[in-house]
A and B are shown apart, each in its own frame.
Chain A
């Protein structure tokens, strides 16, 4: 069964450093998402991406964040200068289409980011 994969599974970085989180969505999917979950809290939407551009973004997704689909298979989330409060689990998700066509979002296993 096709699945969304994410690398690395755990990333430790120092405050102020740049990190890139990688995701490989399911191959025929067109919509891609990043969510994050601070430990013990709810899952929060960051950004959605379609046709090589951002569709929607939340207020969390500020100028420190960017997304890219560099090669047609990977989907990346970059945090330019990490802060302690960026420590969280980051989930990538993908779907065949948008909500009104009722397509499920498939989640990857997540990347745990620890900022020290």
Chain B
């Protein structure tokens, strides 16, 4: 069975600085997708970024980028120029052949002004 591990329960970053959130996963599948979701206090799940496993190029979305290491089964999220609005829970998620998302336990990100 696939698993997703986020080893950082909490992280903190100064406004305008850069922070990296870690995620590792375990799977025997070769085709899959990886996601980072943001969950603010409203608890709405918001997609931040997506990575297709067959793509070697790391995905980027404005200030958000990933470091995808397929052999190491690692998928970290880098947030550049952190803003107060980035404060939230961040969940790493795996999607394989069954279609459903498998989430990690999340990392709570605080942004200090």
Q: A residues engaging B (CB < 8 A)?
A: 31, 33, 35, 37, 41-45, 48, 55-56, 58, 89, 91, 93, 98-100, 102, 104-105, 107, 109-110, 112
Shortest Cβ distance from residue B17 to the other chain A in the assembled complex, whole angstroms: 27
Q: Are A43 and B91 touching (Cβ within 8 A)?
A: yes
The answer, among A43, A45, A55, A99, for a CB contact under 8 Å with B33, is A99
In the assembly, what is the distance between CA of A10 and CA of B110, in Å?
27
**Nearest neighbor of A107 in chain B, beta-carbon distance:** B45
Task: Give the size category of B's interface with A.
Answer: 20 to 34
Q: Which residues of the partner chain B approach A44 to less than 8 Å between Cβ atoms?
A: 103
Most buried by B among A58, A89, A102: A102
B99, A55: Cβ atoms closer than 8 Å? yes
B residues neighboring A (CB under 8 Å): 31-33, 42-47, 50, 52, 91, 93, 95-106
Establish whether residues A102 and B100, one from each chain, have CB atoms under 8 Å apart when the complex forms. Answer: no
Q: How distant is the Cα of A56 from the Cα of B98 in the complex, in angstroms? A: 7
Residue ID in chain A nearest B46 by CB atoms: A107
Interface centre among B44, B101, B102 (most CB of A within 10 A): B101
Contacts of A41 in B (CB 8 A): 105
Whether the Cβ atoms of B45 and A43 lie closer than 8 Å is: yes
Residues of A within 8 A of B105 (CB): 41-42
Q: Among B31, B42, B99, B104, point to the contact of A42 (Cβ < 8 A).
A: B104
